[in-house]
């Protein structure tokens, strides 16, 4: 893969030019180097993904402990995130909240003392708690927090015993359409693909429906790295069983074949009377009569098969069905939902929910644009933007993979960084695409690649003897991390990242009504903000300094921090099926 040029004013961490004779490794460093070679210490294995264990501090656990220390059930505390406030405090119980909880807003001294002395395996180490004009402010003991988040975890590795269980069937009706996919269809497919990855990361078994037809070309899905099943088993018996159920259904009636009647109609079903009898909420009041075809029953049969494939031996009561639809398909999917309830009155059909995507508006289209045309347009724009920025290098054949990845990132972020229920506007003009716009997927990939460049440069310097290898985490001095940006990266990104993934994968509990909302924009927004704060820090701070032993402690601590940041990038991008670019 071709390497992009490194801008000297921004990416200052190229391999230093100091001669090898300026540094003599000590015995301890030589031992560390042997550890790297044997896999016990630093080197390429020193930045392993963060583990979730009992010794890892968590935001929710810390907030819960802070509220309990004040003896109030209400959530009084908030986590700070802005750089200005983090200079003075990390958690705050606002004055207004304290005034509502305590007479005159005065917290008893013993409660303040209890906050300062909080301890716990998942609670951040607290340094001081004091009254301020803004409220009760708490600061964290930062060196210890760095140590607990970046250092080795105590005890054995966590097991999967506490993983989430259950099954979710994600149904994307857009893939049943015989017509070519359009951007509005693509939005719901991308959302379902991303949600499936998030749920699987939380231990949930996910089934994707429908299987892709072998007869159609799905190049655009492959180009966008959408992982969707294809083929499928014969559903003849299941369709026959549904036809038999239709014959016994009091809501169904024969359909006279009059001129204009759709071909292949089996019967008509009165949906409205069933909805009223069952007292179902959230359905369109215009639901009335549905003309049932063989294709309709096949769709239901495929959903039934997915439910039966759930891991609990067909016990479908724990299987949730989520129909991921664009707003223009919602009415048709409600019809299918009610028909399934009529023909298969099981617990799984009662758990059907609809995740509705808002409209996708395309500005200045010469004609209705199809999904593959949209992809090719963005790819051409990304190529042209890269040529403008990097010159002839971007025309090399080795750049094909880079351009493809940047294009996929641009489209996925364009489609997924907005809340699913809101409208998206696609501007197809050339100036709308950028290799480095701070709100784009390309900007995220750019910063991920900067980290790869940093560690490749460091590794080469180690091999040349310029630097010693990164020592084991237990030997690092995290008190050297004093930069404001370093705490921002740890406190706003490394610390809450596992909970961010949990929030993004969280589906609301069963409730009345059929619509649900999900936080499907969370990961893209998190990555964009992380990229902005990392870029600001990286442009300001020189990570790989002169190869003098008295500077190594700070350099090693920073590398360990940025190694963890890199792991967060990789883990988050994996939920979007985006491979990290290794060079830039």
pLDDT digits (tens, 9 = 90+) for 196-207: 999 999 999 999
Domains of the chain, with CATH numbers? 59-150 (3.30.1360), 167-359 (3.40.50.620)
Q: How much is the pLDDT for 433? A: 63
Lowest-pLDDT choice from 49-53, 294-298, 471-475, 512-516: 49-53
Whole-number percent of the chain with pLDDT over 90: 64
Pick the range with the lowest mean pLDDT from 167-176, 273-282, 365-374, 538-547.
365-374
Residue 154 pLDDT: 55
Assign 495 a pLDDT band (cuts: 50, 70, 90): very high
What end-to-end distance do the CA atoms of the chain give, in Å?
10
Indicate the pairing of strand 252-254 with strand 205-209: unpaired
Query: d(Cα 37, Cα 43) in Å, to the nearest integer?
Result: 8
Predicted confidence (pLDDT) at residue 508 exceeds the cutoff of 50? yes
pLDDT tens readout for residues 416-438: 999 999 999 998 876 656 555 66
pLDDT at 584 over 90: no
Q: What is the pLDDT of residue 89?
A: 96
Helix (H, G, I), strand (E, B) or coil at 427: strand
Question: What is d(CA 555, CA 477) in angstroms, rounded to the nearest whole number?
Answer: 10
Is residue 141 scored above 50 in pLDDT?
yes
Per-residue pLDDT at 539: 95
Query: Looking at residue 42, what is its pLDDT?
Result: 35
Residue 488 DSSP SS3: helix
Whether omega for the bond prior to residue 318 falls within 30 degrees of 0, making it cis, is no
* Beta carbons of 61 and 126 less than 8 angstroms apart: no
**How many other CB atoms are there within 10 angstroms of residue 584's CB atom?**
20
User: pLDDT band at residue 358, thresholds of 50, 70 and 90?
Assistant: very high
* Residue 323 contacts residue 354 (beta carbons within 8 Å): yes
Work out the average pLDDT over 275-280.
Answer: 91
Q: How far is CA 136 from the centre of its chain?
A: 33
Enumerate the H helices of 430-521 as residue ranges. 441-463, 484-489, 497-504
d(CA 564, CA 493): 10
State the pLDDT at residue 22. Answer: 29
At 149-179, the pLDDT tens digits run 998 865 444 434 345 568 999 999 999 988 8
Q: How far is 301 from 419, CA to CA, in rounded Å?
A: 31
CA distance 115 to 422: 41
- Calculate mean pLDDT across residues 480-504: 96
Cα–Cα–Cα angle for 285, 288, 289, rounded to 5 degrees = 165
Residues 284, 305 contacting (CB under 8 angstroms): no
pLDDT in tens, 454-487: 999 999 999 999 999 999 999 999 999 999 999 9
Is 54's pLDDT higher than 60?
no
Average pLDDT over residues 299-305: 94
Residue-level pLDDT at 312? 62
Give 252's pLDDT tier (boundaries 50, 70, 90): confident
Q: What is the mean pLDDT of the chain?
A: 84
Using pLDDT thresholds of 50, 70 and 90, give the confidence band for residue 105. confident
Asked if pLDDT for residue 322 goes beyond 90, the answer is yes
Return the structure tokens found at 425: 């506007």
Integer CA distances (angstroms), 215 to 177, 188, 404, 490, 571, in order: 13, 22, 26, 49, 35
Q: How far apart are CA 173 and CA 573, in angstroms?
A: 26
CA distances from 205 to 2, 194, 197, 224, 254 (A): 39, 14, 10, 23, 40
Long-range contacts of 264-270 (CB under 8 A, 24+ apart): 264/293, 264/294, 264/295, 265/291, 265/292, 265/293, 266/292, 266/293, 266/294, 266/297, 267/291, 267/292, 268/292, 269/339, 269/342
């Amino acid at each position: 893969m071709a390497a992009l040029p490194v801008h000297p004013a921004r990416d200052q961490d190229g391999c230093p030019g100091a001669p090898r004779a300026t540094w003599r490794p000590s015995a301890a460093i030589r031992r560390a180097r042997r550890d790297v070679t044997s896999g016990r210490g630093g080197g390429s294995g020193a930045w392993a993904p963060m583990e979730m264990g009992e010794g890892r501090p968590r935001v929710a656990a810390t907030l819960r402990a802070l509220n309990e220390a004040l003896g109030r059930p209400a959530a009084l505390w908030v986590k700070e995130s802005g750089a200005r406030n983090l200079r003075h405090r990390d958690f705050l119980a606002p004055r207004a909240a304290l005034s509502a909880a305590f007479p005159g807003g005065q917290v008893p001294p013993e409660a303040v003392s209890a906050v300062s002395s909080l301890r716990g395996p998942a609670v951040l180490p607290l340094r001081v708690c004091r009254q301020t004009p803004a409220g009760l402010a708490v600061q964290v003991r930062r060196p210890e927090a760095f140590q607990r988040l970046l250092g080795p975890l105590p005890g054995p590795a966590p097991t999967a015993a506490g993983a989430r269980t259950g099954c979710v069937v994600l149904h994307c009706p857009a893939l049943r359409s015989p017509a070519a996919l359009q951007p509005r269809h693509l939005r719901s497919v991308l959302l379902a693909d991303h949600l499936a990855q998030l749920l699987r990361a939380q231990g949930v078994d996910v089934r994707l429906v429908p299987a892709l037809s072998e007869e159609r070309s799905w190049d655009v899905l492959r180009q966008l790295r959408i992982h969707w099943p294809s083929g499928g088993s014969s559903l003849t018996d299941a369709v026959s069983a549904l036809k038999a159920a239709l014959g016994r259904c009091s809501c169904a009636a024969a359909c006279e074949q009059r001129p204009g009647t759709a071909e292949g109609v089996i019967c008509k079903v009165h949906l409205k009377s069933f909805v009223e009898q069952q007292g179902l909420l959230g359905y369109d009041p215009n639901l009335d009569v549905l003309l049932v075809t063989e294709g309709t029953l096949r769709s239901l049969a495929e959903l039934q098969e997915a439910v039966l494939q759930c891991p609990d031996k067909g016990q479908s009561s724990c299987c949730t069905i989520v129909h991921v639809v664009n707003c223009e398909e919602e009415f048709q999917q409600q019809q299918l939902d009610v028909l399934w309830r009529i023909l298969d009155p099981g617990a799984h059909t009662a758990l059907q929910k609809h995740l509705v995507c808002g409209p996708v508006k395309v500005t200045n289209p010469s004609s209705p644009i199809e999904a593959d045309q949209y992809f090719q347009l963005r790819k051409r724009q990304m190529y042209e933007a890269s040529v403008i920025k990097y010159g002839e290098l971007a025309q090399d054949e080795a750049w094909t993979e880079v351009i493809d990845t940047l294009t996929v990132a641009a489209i996925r972020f364009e489609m997924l960084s907005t809340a699913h229920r809101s409208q998206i506007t696609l501007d197809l003009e050339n100036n709308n695409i950028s290799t480095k716009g701070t709100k784009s997927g390309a900007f995220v990939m750019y910063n991920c690649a900067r980290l790869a460049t940093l560690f490749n440069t460091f590794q080469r310097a180690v091999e040349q003897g310029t630097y010693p290898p990164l020592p084991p985490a237990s030997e690092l001095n995290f008190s050297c991390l004093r930069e404001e940006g370093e705490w921002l990266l740890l406190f706003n990104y490394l610390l809450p990242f596992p909970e961010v993934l949990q929030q993004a994968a969280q589906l609301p509990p069963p409730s009345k009504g059929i619509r649900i909302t999900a936080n499907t924009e969370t990961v893209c927004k998190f990555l964009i903000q992380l990229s902005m704060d990392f870029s600001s820090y990286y442009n300001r701070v020189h990570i790989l300094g002169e190869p003098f032993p008295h500077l190594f402690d700070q350099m090693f601590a920073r590398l360990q921090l940025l190694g963890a940041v890199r792991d967060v990038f990789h883990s988050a991008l994996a939920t979007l099926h985006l491979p990290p670019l290794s060079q830039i």
